[in-house]
Amino acid sequence: MANVQDGWDIMGNANGGYLTAIAARAMLDGAERRDPFTLTTHFLSPVPFGEVSMGVETVKVGKLVTTMTGVMRRGDRQLLRLIGAFGEMGEPHPQLVDTAPPDMASFEECIKRETDDGSFPVGLMKNLTVRMHPDDSMFINGGHSGVALMRGWFEFKDLRPLDTLSLLLATDAMPPPVFNLPIASGWVPTLELTVHVRAVPVGTRLACVFRTRVLQGGLLEEDGELWDEAGNLVALSRQMAVAPRG
């Protein structure tokens, strides 16, 4: 059993990255490994807070990687289905990283994402501090940059050190980049989220950048990069979500 706690939600439903981290913890325990390497989550139903059960199954045990599947349920209802590969993250050398950290304003210059703006309650912000680049935060006051880009900083309010599980949460904690387009605003429910963990993070804070390049057929994709305080690329993500419908 696991407990989906209140205060990790958006509009009353638990955040997808938070749920993925809960499921990954159970899968890591089953695999007897330390780190998620890659994890794909399909979201089958919204999840309010309360008890859930996790079923895990070992697909293959290798020397370096254990592959697992997982199912989160509440009663007879399936909430999430996952497949992932787990192991122990190695040293970051040698490496080829043909990208760079986002062009980011300082933490103090960035705009704080609030718990509740009066119309779109984000309970997740009771436990997290998320600050957005000023150029990407105009949607808060009804404006739009015209670019589906969201840059910002992520950390826990209690300033706990980051680990590879916390990266799963961080990939889904920023506002969607499409909020910066002149389209209808509203809920953007995630259908599928894939995270590739690339390194054990250093410090308590992440620099994040998320982009949407394709929005069509009522669906959108969102690609993310997470960078730690040492300048290491620590995770990549991609999700498919339903476009906001107002």
Q: Return per-residue pLDDT of the chain as tens, 246 residues.
A: 899 999 999 888 999 999 999 999 999 999 999 999 999 999 999 999 999 999 999 999 999 999 999 999 999 999 999 999 999 998 767 688 899 999 999 999 999 987 665 556 788 999 999 999 999 999 988 899 999 999 999 999 999 999 999 999 999 999 999 999 998 888 899 999 999 999 999 999 999 999 999 999 999 999 999 999 999 999 999 999 999 886
- Residue 96 domain-assigned (yes or no): no
- Residue 145 domain-assigned (yes or no): yes
- Residue 44 domain-assigned (yes or no): yes
Q: Token pair for residue 135?
A: 């150029």
Q: In CATH, what number is assigned to the domain containing residue 148? A: 2.40.160.210
Number of domains in the chain: 1
d(CA 232, CA 159) in angstroms, rounded, equals: 19
Instruction: Give the contacts of 18 (CB within 8 A, at least 6 positions apart).
Output: 4, 8, 124, 169, 172
234 CB neighbour count, 10 Å cutoff: 25
Residue 117's identity, in one-letter code, is D
Query: CA geometry: angle at 75 spanning 74 and 77, to 5°?
Result: 65
pTM: 0.95
Q: Token pair for residue 43?
A: 């979201």
- Residue 73 domain-assigned (yes or no): yes
- Residue 93 domain-assigned (yes or no): no
Residue 143's identity, in one-letter code, is G
48 CB neighbour count, 10 Å cutoff: 11
Range of the domain at 115: 2-88+102-242
- Residue 97 domain-assigned (yes or no): no
- Residue 18 domain-assigned (yes or no): yes
- Residue 13 domain-assigned (yes or no): yes
d(CA 120, CA 122) in angstroms, rounded, equals: 6
Instruction: Give the contacts of 218 (CB within 8 A, at least 6 positions apart).
Output: 242, 243, 245
SS3 label, residue 85: strand
d(CA 181, CA 193) in angstroms, rounded, equals: 22
Query: C-alpha dihedral over 16, 21, 26, 30, to 10 degrees?
Result: 120
